[in-house]
Amino acid sequence: MLAKNCLTAAMMSVGQQHRARLSFSHEQVRQYCELSGDANSIHSDPEAARRRFQDARDVVVPGGLIQIAVTGIFGAEFPGDGCMGLSFVPERFRKPVFPGDVIDVLIEVSRIRGPVVEVDVTMSDAAGETISTAKSKLLAPDDAYRQWWVEQGVRQGAAI
């Protein structure tokens, strides 16, 4: 399966934006906690979540799960296939996220130096309130990798 995009740094520009949406199920929260070893009860017990956050209506989605999903956007959508994350520095989460909540993710290119693309990430809830922000450095794919990606897509019948 090919990613949706494969953009080189030369194909991007400062100020360029990409938008995506995320949402997590109870099962995804459970699987993440099991795989990561995160035994914090706010992720498995709604009562524990309410004791920690007065307005909690369910278990809290782990911040690490949200961060991993954002880095997945880098590899699947923007810049896409062949992208390598060099750093991901999140700010603190300003408010909890619950299973079923929709997170709007805005990725904006802030700097390009050779193949290294720096992006600002803003995650917002359905009301437009910021949940968290992050900065990331990405190593965009080079021209040779993009050519391979295009050839693979042609072989698989993808519309590239």
Is residue 123 in a domain? yes
Rg over CA atoms, the chain: 18
* Amino acid at the residue 105: V
Asked whether the beta carbons of 1 and 132 are under 8 A apart, the reply is no
Q: What is the pTM of this model?
A: 0.90
Per the structure, the count of domains in the chain is 1
Is residue 102 in a domain? yes
The encoded tokens of residue 105 equal 């993710």
Q: Give the length of the chain.
A: 160
> Which residues form the domain of 136?
9-155
Other beta carbons less than 10 A from residue 68's beta carbon: 13
Is residue 43 in a domain? yes
Element (H, E) at 99: none
Is residue 48 in a domain? yes
Give the Å distances, CA to CA, from 66 to 35, 109, 130, 136: 15, 20, 14, 14
Is residue 92 in a domain? yes
Q: Which tens digit of pLDDT belongs to each residue from 40-75?
A: 999 999 999 999 998 899 999 999 999 999 999 999
Is residue 1 in a domain? no
Q: Please list the alpha-helical segments (H only) found in 54-142.
A: 63-76
Q: Which tens digit of pLDDT belongs to each residue from 123-159?
A: 999 999 999 999 999 999 999 999 998 888 766 665 5
Give the CATH number of the domain where residue 130 resides: 3.10.129.10
Is residue 33 in a domain? yes
Is residue 160 in a domain? no
